[in-house]
Amino acid sequence: MHYDLLLTGGEVIDPSAGYSGVMDVAIAGGKIAAVAPNIPATQALRSISVKGKYVFPGLVDMHAHVLINGHDMGMHTDTYTKASGVTTLCDAGSAGSATFGALRTVLDHHVRTRIRAFVNLSAIGITGVSRGGELSHFPYADPEGCARTITENPDLAIGVKLRFGPKLVWEYSTEPVKLARRAADMAGGVPMMMHITDSPIPLPELISPMKPGDIVTHCYHGRDNGIMGQEKQFVLKEVVEAQRAGIIFDCAHGRSHFNFRMIEKALDQGFLPDTISTDLTLTTATQGPVWDLPTTMSKLLHFGMTLPELVRRATANPAKLLGYEGTVGTLKPGANGDVAVFELRDGNFELIDSHGDKIIAKRRLIAQLTVKDGRVWYERPAE
């Protein structure tokens, strides 16, 4: 036998590898071994027909939270990732320098999903305290500890996270951004990710200290001073120029950061997100409106993004940012054996944004099978 697992007859879409069409995917030793038409089933220990389904690389969620408020998805993370085709996830700053050890313990002992993490500029991380955010009190800022945590955890920590918005920072100026950028420089020039919503400061001012490879997350929030400024009609030229210069714009759905009217305008103007992510937490996974990454992709599909555009932004693009270029988020031979199989179901599907607005989507991605490191991790129950 040449292969451990063979997925046959699916419509393979992987822009990073140049695959588009009906092909088989063979896996051996936990790695992608071959992608080609009509691979003989006799060459595999196990063969699964995925005819009529779409075959993508395992999805990569660029922004979610495993340990927000000290627990959240925690040890239940795998329950939500594997059932949605997600094999790799980035924790977007749940933990800071004082709490990062707890995140590592949970990941080391309870989570099989492949994880990378941003370290919060605040030592305490995201606590959810109603009296103020993690940086509403300046002494919680810990650029030295943040940088040290990143350098001491190179297998897990990849950058600095800053949340900028009402009650989240000690002052409304570019100083919190500059401090986060300085922490990233101290850690060896790693990227910083900035959460930005309802800012009293125009977005062009806030992104001015950022460097190529840094990330603006929640780019479709639809609130004050976003990518379309206060007028909310046209994407700002400074934002377009920043994206062209290498600043990454991540959509990160979340409970309050995904606005259909903003999305429709932005996509009509040609402003696509560089990465598609969920900002998933336990609440948004069980009560909505996020639910999972395929649902977020389905919403963008409704507004005109193509499947290849969606797949690239939910696989190869985030994989590169997480340091996995060529090994995750692709079906190239030699890459990790992560595969996500989906049905693109026709129907009338009510989908809701973060502001309660509704659409009726005619198509929706439904996860059918998830393979991680060459092993079947999830199979959708028969309906």
Tokens representing 222 are: 């639809």
Amino acid type, 170: W
Mean pLDDT of the 337-355 span:
98
pLDDT tens digits for range 220-230? 999 989 999 99
Q: What local confidence, expressed as pLDDT, does residue 130 receive?
A: 58
- The model's pLDDT over 318-344, given as tens digits with 9 standing for 90+, comes to 999 999 999 999 999 999 999 999 999
pLDDT on residue 166: 86
Tell me the C-alpha distance between 144 and 125, whole Å: 14
Residue 375 neighbours by CB distance under 10 Å: 12
pTM of the model: 0.97
240-258 confidence digits (pLDDT tens): 999 999 999 999 999 999 9
Average pLDDT over residues 371-382: 96
* Residue 57 CB partners (closer than 8 Å, separation 6+): 14, 16, 311, 315, 316, 328, 329, 330, 331, 335, 338, 339, 340
How far, in whole angstroms, is CA 242 from its chain's centroid? 20
